[in-house]
Amino acid sequence: MSLRYTLHRERPLYLHGYLVPFIILYAILGYSWLQIQSLPEEELHNGTVGPIDILIISLAVVGIINGICYLSIHWSVNARAWMTLNQVLRCVL
């Protein structure tokens, strides 16, 4: 039977896994919102699912996934280590 342990170092806040990817996604969605606002009115309301509807659904999906990732670091030690720490040393005895 072997004993395994690891040594970790905390990442800076701006590199946490529950934060950085979502900042990028929110920036992309914000840019998309600005581009949609510049479209002519007839392209926005043509009787089908419009770009605003798709953007709102995308924003909701990203928000839900962001919330689940944030809550998972409070529910699971493994998830917290994976998203907020860097592995420095791994030993097997």
Convert the pLDDT of each residue in 69-81 to its tens digit.
989 989 998 888 8
Tokens read off for 93: 């005895």
Angle between helices 51-75 and 77-84 (to 10 degrees): 110
pLDDT at 47 over 80: no
Per-residue confidence at 43, pLDDT binned at 50, 70, 90? low
Domain boundaries, the chain: 4-40+48-92
- Which of 12, 15, 1, 8 is closest to 90 using CA atoms? 8
Per-residue confidence at 48, pLDDT binned at 50, 70, 90? low
Type of residue found at 77? V
Per-residue confidence at 60, pLDDT binned at 50, 70, 90? very high
The pLDDT assigned to 6 comes to: 81
Residue 6 pairs in a beta bridge with 90
